[in-house]
């Protein structure tokens, strides 16, 4: 292999990070993408001698972005010129995955598809023919269970065999004509702030993104923006629905055709639902989901606000440091260092050990630990998206969406940690709004403790 990096792409919560960890050995660098608060992980493939660079992109459902996460993934694909794109998919939700596959195919990037979570698909009776799907897409298709490392050995061969997909979504004549017009405009305006492409289908992909109303991409067109806007406006008059909806509907129709003869899932009446599926259904039920929601929120507050910010912090501060670490450090420093000023620096009222180290470990560590444990449990159990669904309607009244519930609840334990988690929200407006609510309307555990006292 040669050229640019290997880019991992996939929908949210499909096991992409587990695949990335296996390929890189988890020796990675995590940093914010320039101009955003979205984290991007970079590493090097350690399972071969090639030592190829790998980028783990944020989860995305579309290359026509609706959030910062999706925009960052799209920009990486446009800017990096990847040598290979490995799409990690949820095998039991193939339709959603193939919707993204068709957009990667339009970009003309060398790609391979990994159907992860194959064990969950088998439990649900889902049957997929990887060979037939590979033939239809024209790219390598593998199956895996990343959490057990089953099937991951085949990923290296799939990455090495990655090639541009031969599948093309057949849009109607109006959209195809408009896409050709925009592609011609892009070719005639090299001054636009878009990366140069050597791939034959890339201009068509950009044209479809622009027709879908990608404002961020359109802002980089410079002199071509007015012409593109004119083409899109003229095309929009031919449909009763928004262009983005029309393009998505036709793309889904192509995905359904692609799945024919490849994917089979039994109807709900054909099998007995598992207890996890029944619990998931109860969790989003309009009536029974409410007590489940209240129990989860109460457990999160008790874990982070009471156990972490209360019991553990109090024990670490008063017992671990107050009775053992600080007295021991004071005794050792007084015995070794003869200068009073130097002793004050280490074990004085504001010393490096007695205050800085004590505050960092005794106060921050318990809260951070309990937060990440609870967040992992919510994410791994699958309740996190259901939690967002349950509170989505009342939060919409405040101009937010269901995701905002997580930082709001965590604010009852620690406003600082809650403010950090606002990065999961999709827009800058929502992050600022939730940050203001945390600062002005949500009391942390210390404030609640003072009020109850």
Tell me, what CATH number does 22's domain have? 3.40.50.300
The answer to whether 9 touches 57, Cβ cutoff 8 Å, is yes
Q: Are residues 334 and 377 in the same domain?
A: yes
Q: Are residues 54 and 20 in the same domain?
A: yes
Q: Are residues 251 and 314 in the same domain?
A: no
15 part of a folded domain = yes
Whether 28 has a pLDDT exceeding 70, the answer reads: no
- Distance of CA 85 to CAs 78, 110, 415, Å? 12, 6, 39
**What does the chain come to in residues?**
453
167 part of a folded domain = no
| Percent share of the chain, pLDDT over 90 | 21
Q: Among 50-59, 264-273, 333-342, 382-391, which is the least confidently predicted range? A: 264-273
Whether 206 has a pLDDT exceeding 60, the answer reads: yes
Q: Work out the average pLDDT over 337-360.
A: 77
Whether 451 has a pLDDT exceeding 50, the answer reads: no
The answer to whether 202 touches 222, Cβ cutoff 8 Å, is no
Q: Are residues 153 and 180 in the same domain?
A: no
CA–CA dist 413, 257 (Å, integer):
50
Last residue of some domain: 126, 160, 194?
160
Q: What would you measure as the largest C-alpha separation in the chain, in angstroms?
A: 87
CA–CA dist 325, 339 (Å, integer):
21
332 part of a folded domain = yes
**Which CATH number characterizes residue 191's domain?**
1.10.287.1770
Three state DSSP letters for 185-247: HHHHCCCCCCCCCCCCCHHHHHHHHHHCCCHHHHCCCHHHHHHHHHHHHHHHCCCCCCHHHHH
- 184's enclosing H/E stretch is helix 173-188
Q: What is the pLDDT of residues 171-197, one digit of tens each?
A: 999 999 999 998 888 877 654 556 554
386 part of a folded domain = yes
Give the pLDDT confidence score for residue 198 in this predicted structure: 45
Whether 32 has a pLDDT exceeding 70, the answer reads: no
Residue 218 neighbours by CB under 8 Å, 6+ apart? 210, 225, 228, 229
Whether 58 has a pLDDT exceeding 80, the answer reads: yes
What is 295-318 written as a DSSP string?
Answer: HHHHHHIIIIIIIIIIIIHHHIII
Confidence grade of residue 39 (pLDDT, cut at 50, 70, 90): confident
Give the pLDDT confidence score for residue 326 in this predicted structure: 80
Work out the end-to-end distance of the chain between its first and last CA atoms, rounded to an integer number of angstroms: 65
Ramachandran region, residue 351 (left: φ > 0; alpha: ψ -120 to 50; beta: rest): beta
CA–CA dist 153, 97 (Å, integer):
22
Domain that holds residue 97: 6-160
221 part of a folded domain = yes
273 part of a folded domain = no
Q: Work out the average pLDDT over 42-68.
A: 82
Tell me the β-bridge partners of 90.
Answer: 116
CA–CA dist 13, 146 (Å, integer):
12
301 part of a folded domain = yes
Q: Are residues 422 and 330 in the same domain?
A: yes
Q: What is the pLDDT of residues 127-148, one digit of tens each?
A: 999 999 999 999 999 999 988 8
Q: Are residues 69 and 215 in the same domain?
A: no
Give the pLDDT confidence score for residue 453 in this predicted structure: 39
- 29's enclosing H/E stretch is strand 29-32
Last residue of some domain: 114, 130, 160?
160
Q: Are residues 155 and 186 in the same domain?
A: no
Q: Are residues 224 and 257 in the same domain?
A: yes
Tokens of 442: 């949500």
The whole-model pTM stands at 0.68
Give the pLDDT confidence score for residue 3 in this predicted structure: 67
Q: Are residues 21 and 46 in the same domain?
A: yes
CA–CA dist 407, 415 (Å, integer):
8
Give the pLDDT confidence score for residue 95 in this predicted structure: 92
Q: What is the pLDDT of residues 372-428, one digit of tens each?
A: 788 778 777 778 778 778 888 888 888 887 878 778 777 766 777 788 778 777 677
CA–CA dist 114, 153 (Å, integer):
11
Sign of CA dihedral 79, 98, 423, 373: negative
Q: Are residues 150 and 217 in the same domain?
A: no
269 part of a folded domain = no
Calculate the average pLDDT of the chain: 81
Q: Work out the average pLDDT over 244-263.
A: 92
Tokens of 379: 């994410």
Q: Are residues 227 and 294 in the same domain?
A: no
Domain count, the chain: 3
DSSP-assigned letter for residue 274: P
Q: What is the pLDDT of residues 280-314, one digit of tens each?
A: 777 777 788 888 888 887 887 788 778 877 888 88
Q: Are residues 363 and 214 in the same domain?
A: no
């Amino acid at each position: 292999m040669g050229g640019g990096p290997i880019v991992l792409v996939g929908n949210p919560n499909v096991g992409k990070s587990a695949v990335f960890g296996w390929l890189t050995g988890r020796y990675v660098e995590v940093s914010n993408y320039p101009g955003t608060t979205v984290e991007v992980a970079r590493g090097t493939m350690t399972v071969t001698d090639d030592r190829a660079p790998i980028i783990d992109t944020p989860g995305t459902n579309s290359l026509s972005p609706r959030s910062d996460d999706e925009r960052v993934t799209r920009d990486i694909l446009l800017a990096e010129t990847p040598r290979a794109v490995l799409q990690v998919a949820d095998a039991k939700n193939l339709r959603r995955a193939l919707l993204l596959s068709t957009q990667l195919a339009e970009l003309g990037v060398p790609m391979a598809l990994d159907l992860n979570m194959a064990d969950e698909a088998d439990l649900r009776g889902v049957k997929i023919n990887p060979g037939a799907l590979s033939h239809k897409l024209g790219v390598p298709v593998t199956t895996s269970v990343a959490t057990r490392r089953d099937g991951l050995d085949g990923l290296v061969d799939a990455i090495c065999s990655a090639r541009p997909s031969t599948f093309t979504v057949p849009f109607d004549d109006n959209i195809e004509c408009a896409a050709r017009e925009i592609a011609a405009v892009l070719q005639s305006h090299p001054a636009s702030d878009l990366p140069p492409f050597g791939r034959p289908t890339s201009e068509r992909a950009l044209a479809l993104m622009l027709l879908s109303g990608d404002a961020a991409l359109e802002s980089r067109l410079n002199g071509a923006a007015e012409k593109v806007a004119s083409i899109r406006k003229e095309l929009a008059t031919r449909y009763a629905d928004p262009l983005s909806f029309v393009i998505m509907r036709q793309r889904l129709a192509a995905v359904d055709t692609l799945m024919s003869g490849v994917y089979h899932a039994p109807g709900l009446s054909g099998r007995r639902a598992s207890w996890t599926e029944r619990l998931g259904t109860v969790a989003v039920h309009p009536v029974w989901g409410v007590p489940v929601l209240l129990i989860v929120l109460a457990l999160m507050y008790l874990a982070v606000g009471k156990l972490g910010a209360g019991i553990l912090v109090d024990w670490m501060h008063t017992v671990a440091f107050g009775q053992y670490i600080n007295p021991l450090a004071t005794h050792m420093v007084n015995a070794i260092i003869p200068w009073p000023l130097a002793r004050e620096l280490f074990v004085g009222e504001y010393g490096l050990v007695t205050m800085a180290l004590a505050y960092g470990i005794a106060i921050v560590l318990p809260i951070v630990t309990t937060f990440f444990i609870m967040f992992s449990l919510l994410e791994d159990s699958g309740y996190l998206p259901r939690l967002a669904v349950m509170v989505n309607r009342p939060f919409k009244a405040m101009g937010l969406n269901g995701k905002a519930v997580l930082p709001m609840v965590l604010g009852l334990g620690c406003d600082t940690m809650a403010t950090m988690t606002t990065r999961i929200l999709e827009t800058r407006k929502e992050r600022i709004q939730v940050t203001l609510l945390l600062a002005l309307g949500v009391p942390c555990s210390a404030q609640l403790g003072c009020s109850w006292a």
